[in-house]
Structure 1
Amino acid sequence: MENKSQTIVLSLKYVLLAILTGVLVGIIDTVFGRGLLTISDFRTGHYLYLIPFLPFAGLLITWLYYHFSETSLKGMTLVFETGQKKREDIPLLLIPLVMSGTWITHLFGGSAGREGVAVQIGAVLSHVLGRRFHLPKDSRVMLITGMAAGFGGLFQTPLTAVFFSMEVIVAGKIQYEALLPALIASYTAAYTSHTLGLEKLYVPLKDTLEISDAGMAVRLIVLGIIFGLTGRLFSFLLAKSKKFFGEKIKNPYFRIGVISIPLALILFLLYNGRYSGLGTNLISAAFSGGMIYSYDWILKLLLTILTLAIGYQGGEVTPLFSIGASLGIVLGGILSISPVHCAALGYAAVFAGATNTLLAPVLIGLEVFGANDMVPFLIVCIFAYLVNGDKSIYGAQEVRK
C-alpha cells in the first residue's frame, strides 16, 4: 500500500512539475524566439555593417563561455550525458550563455539554428526543478519533459517535440515512461509561447500526392534515400569538421577568429547574406513561389557546418529544414513531382536523416503541413531513416541495436 501511495505522489509531482516547466520554458522560449526574430530582421536590413564584424563576435562568444562556464561549451552533449546517466548536473549558466551566444551569432550573420538552444533551456530548467523537488536522481523523465517543452514552445509542434525528446537520447529506444509529463509540458509551453505572441510555421498542403501507381511509390522511395543521405552528409561533415578544426587549431580564440574571416567574406558576398541566419528565408521562398537556386541547399549545408564547427552557437535543425525544403524544390522538377510537396517532404526527411529519429520527423510533417500527405511523409521518412546509418548531428547520441 505504501509503495502504491509513493507512486501516486511521484506521478502527481511529475504532472505538476510538467505544467510549471511548460509555463516557464514557454516564457523563456518566447523571449529567446522573439529576440532572435528581431535580431534576424535587423541583420537583414543592415548586413553590410554587421557581417564584417562576425570574427569579433566569435571572439566575444568564446570569451563569454571560457570566462563564465567552460563546461557549458559542451552544449547538447551535456543534455545527452545527463540523460544517459553519465553525469549528474548541467550548469544553470548554460541558459544565459547559449541564448546570448546564439543571438550574437545571428546578429553578425553566422549560419545556425535555434532548436538546440530551446532544448538545452528546457533540459536545464527541468533538471534543476527535478532536483529541487527531490525526484529520483537517475530518472530521465524530467530531462525529457524539459526537452519536449523547449522544442514544443519554440516551434509550437508539441507532438513532434514529445516524440523527438523520447527517441533522440538513445536511438532505437523510446522512453515511454516520460510520455505523460512530456506531453503536458510540451503543450503547455506551446500554448504559453503562442499566447505571448510567438508564431508557428503552418503551410497546409491543399492537394494530395496520389500513390496510385508503382512509379510514384518508387519516386517517393528515391526521395527518401536522397534526403536521408543529405542528412547523413550533414552529420558526417559536422563531426569531421569539429574534429579537424579542434585538432589543427587548438586555441579556441585563434580558431574562431581566423576561420571566421573567410566565412564572413563568403556570407557577405553571396546574395546579400542569403545564407546567414536560420534559413527561414529559403523556407519561405520554397513555399511561396520565391527564387530557389539549385545550389542553395549545399551552400546552406556547408556554411552552417563551418559556422558551428569553429565555435559559433545555435542549433542545426532549422538550417536542416531549409536544406530539405530547398533541395525538395530542385528534386521536384527532376522527378516530376509537385515541387512544393517535395519541399515539404524534404523539410521533414532531412531532419530524420540528420537526427537518427523517425517518429518526430513524420509528426513534424503532419503538424506543419497537415495530414493530407501522411502516407508520403511516412514512406519518405522511413527510407531517410534507414539510409542514415546511425549517423547523427548529436555526437553523444547513444545507439541501441
Structure 2
Amino acid sequence: MDAKLKYKTFILLLGQWLILGSIIGIVVGSATAFLLNTNDFLGEVREDSGWLILLLPLGGIGLGYIYMNFGKQRINNTLHDAAELNNLVIDGVHGKKRVLRRMGPIVYLGTFITVLFGGSTGREGAAIQMGGSVAETVNTFFKFNELNRRIIIKSGIGAGFGSAFGAPITGAIFGMEMANSGKIKLDALVPCLVASFVGHYMTTAAWGVEHEEFIIQTVPELSVITIATVVLLSVIFSLLSITYCKLRHGIQNVTEKIFNKNHMKRAFTGGIIIVVLTLMVGSQDYNGRGLDMLEQSFQEDVPTFAFLAKLLFTAVTLGTGFVGGEAIPLFFMGATLGNTLHMFFDLPLSFLAAIGMIAAFCGGANTPIAAFLLAMELFNGEGVEYFFIVCLVSYIFSGHNGLWPSQKIYKPKSTLYNITNGETIENAQKTKNI
C-alpha cells in the first residue's frame, strides 16, 4: 500500500469514527439527560410521599415480570439476558454475547421503578446499558465486523458514563478500561473520546442538566506522615469495596438458587427486606440514590454507621434483582466512611470524604486510570498526588474482586495470585484463585 492510499484510508477511518462517535454521543447524551431528570423527579416524588416505600415489593414483581418476559433473547443457541446488566455489556465487548437493543429501554424502566419505590441504587448502570443498547443498534444498522462491533460498544459505554457524571475524559477511558481489569486497548480511543464528549455536551449544554458538585475545602500539604496515612486509608476503603462486592454477589447467588432465577420472587422478597430495614432504621436516608447525605458528608458530620447502612441497603436491592447503578452507592459508602474516620485521623473532613469516594469506586470497578481521572474532573485537579496514590493502592488491595464478574483479568495484580491471563473475575472466584 503506497503512502497516498494509506493516507486516504486513515482519513476515511478517522472520519468514520468521528461520525459514529458523534451519533452515539448525541443519542446516549440525550437519553442520559432523560434518565437524570426523570430520576430527580421520581426521587422528589418518593421523598414527598414516604408511603411509596411500602409498594417496593409490588414494584419488584413488575420489574421481575419485565425482565423475565422481555429481557431474554436466544441468538445462535446462546441465551442473552438483559438481567445480566453490565455483565452483558462486558460480554458484548469480549464478543461472547450480544447486547440486546431492547436492553436500554428495559433498564431505564427498571431503574425508574427502583428509584420511585425506594430501592437503593445509582444511575450509571442504566446509562452504560443504554449506551451499549444504542451502540448495538448502530452495529446492526451498519453490519460491522466483530472488531468494529467491540469498538462501537466501548464508545457507547464511554458516552453513558461520561454524560452520567459530567466527566467526559473519564468516560472515554472508562469505555476502554471497564471490560478488562489492568488493560486499556487504545484502538477505541477516538470514537470513545468523541462519543463521551458529545454525550456530555448534549446532556449539559443541549438539555441543561446540572451535575452535583463536590468541593474539597482543604487539601493537606504533602508530607511522609500524610502520605502514609492516605495509603492506610486507601487499604481500608478497598476493604469496604470488597465487602460490598462479596455481599452483593452473595445475595444474588443465594436468591437465584432459592428462587430458581425467578426474578419476580427475588425482587418481591428483596422489596420486603428493604421495607423492613427502612422501618428499623426509621429513616429513608439510605433509600434511593442518597445524594443529599453524600453531599453532606463533605460539609458536616453524618451518622457514624451510614456507610454500613448504605452497603446493606444497596447489596439487598441489587442482589435481589432491582436495577440501577453502583457507582453512586459506592461514592456514598466511601465518602461517609471517610466522614466517620475524621474522628480518628487528623485530616480535613472534605478531603477524607473525597478520597473515600474515589477509593471505594476504584476498588469496586477495577478501573484505576478512569477513577483517577474522575477525581481530577470532579475535584478540579486538587490533590492530584494523593488521588494517584489512592487509586493505585485501592486497585491493588481490592484483589480480584469487583462489581462485574464478567470483567477479564488481563494480568494478576500480584504474583501471589494463581490466575491465567484473560480469566474472568467470576471464573477466578469459582476456582478460588483470588
TM-score normalised by L of structure 2: 0.88
**1:91-130, aligned counterparts within 5 Å?**
91-130=100-139
Matching of residue 153 in structure 1 with residue 163 in structure 2: yes
Query: Which of 53, 58, 77 is 2:60 aligned to?
Result: 58
Q: Is residue 358–residue 371 contact of structure 2 (8 Å, CA) maintained in 1?
A: yes
Q: Which moved more, 1:59-68 or 1:134-143?
A: 134-143
C-alpha distance in 2 between matches for 1:168 and 1:258:
31
Residue 277 of structure 1 corresponds to which residue in structure 2?
Answer: 288
C-alpha distance in 2 between matches for 1:164 and 1:375:
21
C-alpha distance in 2 between matches for 1:370 and 1:268:
39
Q: Which moved more, 1:371-380 or 1:279-288?
A: 279-288
Matching of residue 193 in structure 1 with residue 203 in structure 2: yes
Residue 44 of structure 1 corresponds to which residue in structure 2?
Answer: 47
Query: Which of 219, 234, 251 is 1:241 aligned to?
Result: 251
**1:354-365, aligned counterparts within 5 Å?**
354-365=364-375
Q: Is residue 278–residue 318 contact of structure 1 (8 Å, CA) maintained in 2?
A: yes
Q: Is residue 40–residue 106 contact of structure 1 (8 Å, CA) maintained in 2?
A: yes
CA-CA distance at 1:3 after TM superposition: 6.1
CA-CA distance at 1:253 after TM superposition: 2.3
**1:351-390, aligned counterparts within 5 Å?**
351-390=361-400
| Shift in CA distance, 4/194, structure 1 to aligned 2, threshold 3 Å | same
C-alpha distance in 2 between matches for 1:205 and 1:260:
36
Residue 78 of structure 2 corresponds to which residue in structure 1?
Answer: none
Q: Which moved more, 1:326-335 or 1:298-307?
A: 326-335
| Shift in CA distance, 204/254, structure 1 to aligned 2, threshold 3 Å | closer
Q: Is residue 205–residue 370 contact of structure 1 (8 Å, CA) maintained in 2?
A: no
Q: Is residue 101–residue 136 contact of structure 2 (8 Å, CA) maintained in 1?
A: no
C-alpha distance in 2 between matches for 1:238 and 1:259:
12
CA-CA distance at 1:201 after TM superposition: 2.1
Residue 17 of structure 2 corresponds to which residue in structure 1?
Answer: 14
Equivalent position amino acid for 2:331 in 1: F
C-alpha distance in 2 between matches for 1:272 and 1:230:
23
- Aligned to 1:284, what secondary structure does the other structure show? helix
CA-CA distance at 1:136 after TM superposition: 2.6
Residue 343 of structure 1 corresponds to which residue in structure 2?
Answer: 353
CA-CA distance at 1:236 after TM superposition: 1.6
C-alpha distance in 1 between matches for 2:380 and 2:279:
36
- Aligned to 1:362, what secondary structure does the other structure show? helix
- Aligned to 1:333, what secondary structure does the other structure show? coil
Please give the per-residue CA displacement for 1:94-133, whole angstroms capped at 9, x wherever unaligned. 1111001000011000011111110111111122213322
Equivalent position amino acid for 1:31 in 2: F
Q: Is residue 358–residue 375 contact of structure 2 (8 Å, CA) maintained in 1?
A: yes
Q: Is residue 215–residue 298 contact of structure 2 (8 Å, CA) maintained in 1?
A: no
C-alpha distance in 1 between matches for 2:382 and 2:6:
47
C-alpha distance in 2 between matches for 1:262 and 1:152:
33
Residue 141 of structure 1 corresponds to which residue in structure 2?
Answer: 151
Equivalent position amino acid for 1:54 in 2: L
C-alpha distance in 1 between matches for 2:254 and 2:203:
39
Please give the per-residue CA displacement for 1:311-356, whole angstroms capped at 9, x wherever unaligned. 1111111100111110111112211111110001111110011111
Residue 255 of structure 1 corresponds to which residue in structure 2?
Answer: 266
- The unaligned stretches of length 5 or more in structure 2 are 73-80, 412-434
Equivalent position amino acid for 1:41 in 2: E
The count of aligned residue pairs is 397
Query: Which of 69, 72, 75 is 2:71 aligned to?
Result: 69
C-alpha distance in 2 between matches for 1:261 and 1:239:
19
Please give the per-residue CA displacement for 1:185-232, whole angstroms capped at 9, x wherever unaligned. 1111111100212112223334322112x2111101111101111111
C-alpha distance in 1 between matches for 2:22 and 2:172:
14
- The unaligned stretches of length 5 or more in structure 1 are none
Residue 25 of structure 1 corresponds to which residue in structure 2?
Answer: 28
C-alpha distance in 1 between matches for 2:68 and 2:273:
24
C-alpha distance in 2 between matches for 1:83 and 1:262:
35
Q: Is residue 239–residue 398 contact of structure 2 (8 Å, CA) maintained in 1?
A: yes
Q: Is residue 52–residue 268 contact of structure 1 (8 Å, CA) maintained in 2?
A: no
- Aligned to 1:138, what secondary structure does the other structure show? helix
Equivalent position amino acid for 2:383 in 1: D
| Shift in CA distance, 134/3, structure 1 to aligned 2, threshold 3 Å | farther
C-alpha distance in 1 between matches for 2:257 and 2:396:
32
**Alpha-carbon RMSD:** 1.5
C-alpha distance in 1 between matches for 2:267 and 2:318:
10
Equivalent position amino acid for 1:275 in 2: Y
Q: Is residue 148–residue 164 contact of structure 1 (8 Å, CA) maintained in 2?
A: yes
Residue 180 of structure 1 corresponds to which residue in structure 2?
Answer: 190
Please give the per-residue CA displacement for 1:56-95, whole angstroms capped at 9, x wherever unaligned. 00000011122222321121121111111112x3221111
Q: Which moved more, 1:3-12 or 1:306-315?
A: 3-12
Q: Is residue 68–residue 263 contact of structure 2 (8 Å, CA) maintained in 1?
A: no
Please give the per-residue CA displacement for 1:32-76, whole angstroms capped at 9, x wherever unaligned. 1100011011111111x2001110000000111222223211211
Equivalent position amino acid for 2:133 in 1: V
C-alpha distance in 2 between matches for 1:116 and 1:256:
18
Residue 341 of structure 2 corresponds to which residue in structure 1?
Answer: 331
Equivalent position amino acid for 1:57 in 2: G
TM-score normalised by L of structure 1: 0.95
- Aligned to 2:288, what secondary structure does the other structure show? coil
C-alpha distance in 1 between matches for 2:152 and 2:179:
13
Q: Is residue 227–residue 324 contact of structure 1 (8 Å, CA) maintained in 2?
A: yes
Matching of residue 315 in structure 1 with residue 315 in structure 2: no
